Structure 1
Amino acid sequence: MSDVALDLGGISKTYNKGLPGEVRVLDAVDLSVGSGEIVALVAPSGAGKSTLLHIAGLLDTPDAGRVRIAGQDMTGEGDAIRTQVRRRDVGFIYQFHHLLPEFTAVENVTLPQLANGVSRGAATARATELLTRVGVGPRAGHRPAALSGGEQQRVAFCRAMANGPRLLLADEPTGNLDPATSETVFGALIDLVRTTEMAALIATHNLDLAARMDRIIHLTDGKLI
C-alpha cells in the first residue's frame, strides 16, 4: 500500500442515546484501508456495517472518533467541506443501483462529473470508456429500464468511479443479483478497482466473494475483528 485512503480512529456511534432502547452499534472502531487494497466487511444484518460505511463516506457523523480521507482530517469540518471531499474522493455503490430512470447509462455516469466541474465532452468520453471497460459499452444509450439487473449495477459502478475517487465504499453491491450475474458484476468491480489503485471497503454477506479480497474484517457487537 503506497498510502492510506481511509483512516478511522476510535469511531463510536450510539442510537437512541440515553433512552431505554439505546443501541451502541460502533464501539471505538479503528480501521485503515490503503490505496490499492480491497477490504471485505462482513457482518450480520443490523450489526452496523451500513452505519460504518456512512461515517467513512462522510454521510453521517460519529459520536466520537476521527475520520481521515486521503490524509485530510474531517473532524469538525462543516457541510461544505465534507460535501467537497465526498464528491472528489469518495465513490458509493449500494445494493440497489439508484440510477436516474430518465437518463441513459452514459448520462448517468456523466452527471456526477458535470457536478464536479468537468466539461461535457470530457465527461462523456470518460463515461463511455468506463462503460466499455465493464462490458456495457454497447448499451450506453439505453435507459435503466432497458438494462438487465447486472447491467444496471455495472453502470452504477461506473457512476461511482466517474470522478476518480480515492476511496470506494460498497454496501452489498451484488446482494440483489443471482449468483451467475453476481460473479460477473463482482469481477468487473474488482478489475476496475485493481487497475485504478483506489482503496475499496466492500460490505458483503457472500463469504466466497469476501475470500477473494485482500483482507476480511468482521463487525461484531460494535467492534471490528
Structure 2
Amino acid sequence: MNNPAMTEFALELSGIEKAYLKGEPGEVAVLRGAELALKPGEVVALVAPSGAGKSTLLHIAGLLDGADAGEIRLSGQDLTRANDAKRTEMRRREIGFVYQFHHLLPEFTALENIVLPQLANGTSERHARKRGTDLLARVGLSHRAAHRPAALSGGEQQRVAFCRAMANQPSVLLADEPTGNLDPATSDTVFAALMELVAETGLSALIATHNPDLAARMDRVLRLEEGKLIAG
C-alpha cells in the first residue's frame, strides 16, 4: 500500500464521460464530465438512483472499464492511457472491490477465499494465511475461518468479502451497494466492520449506497445527478 503522505489524492477522476451506443440514435450519455478527488484515508458515500451510472463510475474508477473522455489518476499515477497489462497490475495492487453480492468461491473456505488473491499477487502462502487470519479476527470471524460460504450467513459472507478486498493492502476500496441485500440490523453490523477495517488500515474508500443513514456516517456524500458528481 502506498504511503498516503506521498500523494495528495488516492484517486482522481477528471472530466469523465461515458456513453453507451455511442454515435448511434439510441445513444445514452451516462457520465458527463464527472469529477472526483478522493483523499488518502477518506471515506466517501456515492448516492444515486438506480440507473444513474454509479456502477459505471465505479468500474471506470477501478480500471475495469474505460471512459470515453477524461483522466484517471491512482496514487498519483496517470492511468488514462495505460495498456491492459498496466491496468491489471494497478488494479491488483492498488484497488479492492466489494459488490452487493459477495461472489466468494464456494469450494473454498473463508480463509482460503482471502488467501487466494494474495497468492495471485505473489505473496507467500505463509504470509497470505497470516494476513487472512488477522483480517478475519478484525471482523469477528476467526471461528468461521474453516467454513465454506454456504455455511455462513449473508452478513458473514459479506464480511469475508470485505477481508478479501483488503487482502492485498489496496490504496483504494470501491464498494457497490455492499449492504444492499442485507436486513437493516445485519447491514449495520457489516458496515461497522467495514469502517473499522478502513480506519485501521488508513485506505480510502468510495462506497455506493442507497441507505441515507449509512451515507451520513461517512466523511462526505457525493450525489451522481445528470452524469455529474455534486456534494450531497
Q: Are residues 1:200 and 2:194 paired? A: no
Equivalent residue in structure 1 for 2:160, among 147, 152, 155: 155
Equivalent residue in structure 1 for 2:25, among 8, 20, 29: 20
| 1:18 shift after superposition | 1.5
Q: Name which of structure 1's ranges 27-36 and 163-172 shifts more when overlaid on structure 2.
A: 27-36
| 1:190 shift after superposition | 0.5
Q: Are residues 1:9 and 2:7 paired? A: no
Q: Are residues 1:87 and 2:92 paired? A: yes
Amino acid at match of 1:40: A
TM alignment of 1:88-107, pairs within 5 A? 88-107=93-112
| 1:21 shift after superposition | 1.4
Amino acid at match of 1:102: E
Amino acid at match of 2:114: V
Partner residue of 1:45? 50
- Where structure 2 has 5 or more consecutive residues not aligned to the other structure, the ranges are none
What SS class does the counterpart of residue 10 from structure 2 fall into? strand
TM-score of the two chains, using structure 1 as the length reference: 0.99
| In 2: Cα distance, 1:125 partner to 1:37 partner | 27
Q: Spell out, residue by residue over 1:99-119, the C-alpha distance to the aligned partner (whole angstroms, 9 max, x if none).
A: 000000000000000000000
What SS class does the counterpart of residue 84 from structure 1 fall into? helix
TM-score of the two chains, using structure 2 as the length reference: 0.96
Q: Spell out, residue by residue over 1:9-34, the C-alpha distance to the aligned partner (whole angstroms, 9 max, x if none).
A: 11000011122211110001110101
Amino acid at match of 2:58: L
TM alignment of 1:102-141, pairs within 5 A? 102-141=107-146
Partner residue of 1:166? 171
| In 2: Cα distance, 1:75 partner to 1:115 partner | 25
Q: Are residues 1:183 and 2:183 paired? A: no
- Two-structure CA RMSD over aligned residues (Å): 0.8
| 1:43 shift after superposition | 0.1
| In 2: Cα distance, 1:133 partner to 1:121 partner | 19
Runs of 4+ in structure 1 off by over 3 angstroms are: none
- Where structure 1 has 5 or more consecutive residues not aligned to the other structure, the ranges are none
What SS class does the counterpart of residue 4 from structure 1 fall into? coil
Amino acid at match of 2:225: T
| In 1: Cα distance, 2:27 partner to 2:225 partner | 17
Equivalent residue in structure 2 for 1:56, among 52, 57, 61: 61
Q: Are residues 1:209 and 2:220 paired? A: no
| In 2: Cα distance, 1:179 partner to 1:171 partner | 17
What SS class does the counterpart of residue 65 from structure 2 fall into? coil
| 1:174 shift after superposition | 0.2
What SS class does the counterpart of residue 158 from structure 1 fall into? helix
